Amino acid sequence: DKLVKVWLNNGLETWILIHVEVQGEKQTEFAKRMYTYHHRISGRYNRPVASLAVLSDANPQWRPTQYSSEIFGCKIQFNFLMVKLLDYKQQWPELEQSANPFATVIMAHLKAVDTRSDGQQRKIWKMALTRRLYQQGYQRQDILNLYHFIDWVMHLPSALEQAFREEVNQYEQEVNMKYVTSIERLGIKQGRQEGRQEEAERLLLRLLHRRFGELSPEIQARVKGLSVEKLEQLMDVAIDVESLQQLVDHLPAPEAAN
């Protein structure tokens, strides 16, 4: 949820609560959930609320924009804004020319979907998008923030990730701006302190939570204790699947977790 202070076209100051909900898979009750959140936020803050659904799923037909309910002559109809990231695929040339940081976010998401079964192509596009951060002339912190998103959404298997890091290091030497490689060294150092397995568990659980929402204690327990190799494999699966159940099908049985 974001609280935004804006000025109307007539110059008057007002407060607007903007609720942004990111959804990564088709969900039957999604429109009802949007209405529930809108109602609760409005009741809590007593301010106007604008609700926006950002759909990052791969189903072009799923486009919820309305929730309605009627009984005994009492009717509720709630309309909300919706953005389908898949639609931006037709606007790729415009995205490439845009200096808006969100263009990079959308491009990374689209290429993550397109390359979910082709690690080599994903590495190529991950490098191209990382190089683009420097070419756009972003500030150092903006580059790091956007790189973190690219790195998260375009996860690579270990061998390809190593090759990617070598390319990044070489490119940063060419442009004399070692932003990404310096932050990666800090991450490696921190990972050694925390333990590779614990860090991999944390990253996988975070990825699952971002894509599918709150996780049950059972699923969290089944992730605990898995090998680093298995956790990395599950990260690849988590990015590609369209539902949490598809991910669960790849988890070892509880007794096999260790």
Per the structure block, which two tokens stand in for 4? 């935004």
Residue 245 in this model has a pLDDT that exceeds 60: yes
CB 49 within 8 A of CB 19: yes
Min mean pLDDT across 14-28, 37-51, 144-158, 227-241 is at 227-241
- Who has greater pLDDT, 203 or 85? 85
Share of the chain above pLDDT 70, in %: 88
Of all helices (H) and strands (E), which one includes residue 55? strand 49-55
What mean pLDDT is predicted for residues 21-44? 89
Q: What is the mean pLDDT of residues 21-35?
A: 89
Beta bridge partners, 7, equal 13
pTM tops 0.95, yes or no = no
Q: What is the mean pLDDT of the chain?
A: 83
Instruction: Flag whether pLDDT at 40 surpasses 60.
Output: yes
Distance CA 57, CA 155 (A): 17
Beta carbons of 112 and 121 less than 8 angstroms apart = no
pLDDT computed for residue 189 by the predictor: 46
How confident is the model over 63-112, as pLDDT tens digits? 999 999 999 999 999 999 999 988 998 999 999 999 899 999 999 999 99
pLDDT tens, position by position, 159-180: 888 888 888 888 888 877 766 6
Long-range contacts of 60-67 (CB under 8 A, 24+ apart): 60/84, 60/86, 62/26, 64/30, 64/31, 64/34, 65/31, 66/31, 67/31, 67/32, 67/34, 67/35
pLDDT at 124 over 80: yes
Q: What is the mean pLDDT of residues 122-138?
A: 90
